[in-house]
Amino acid sequence: DARVTQTPRHKVTEMGQEVTMRCQPILGHNTVFWYRQTMMQGLELLAYFRNRAPLDDSGMPKDRFSAEMPDATLATLKIQPSEPRDSAVYFCASALRGGETQYFGPGTRLLVL
56 binds other proteins per the rule CB under 8 A: yes
Q: Where are the alpha helices (DSSP H) in the chain?
A: none
112 binds other proteins per the rule CB under 8 A: no
- Is residue 8 a contact partner of residue 58, using CB atoms and an 8 Å limit? no
Q: Closest approach of Cβ 15 to other proteins, in Å?
A: 25
Convert residues 59-98 into a mask of x (bound to other proteins by CB under 8 A) and - (unbound).
Answer: --------------------------------x-x-xxxx
The residues, ordered by sequence, that sit 6+ positions from 21 with a Cβ below 8 Å of its Cβ are 6, 7, 8, 11, 76, 77, 78, 90, 92, 108, 110
2 binds other proteins per the rule CB under 8 A: no
31 binds other proteins per the rule CB under 8 A: yes
Q: Which residues make up the interface to other proteins (CB under 8 A)?
A: 4, 31, 33, 35, 42-45, 48, 50, 56, 91, 93, 95-107
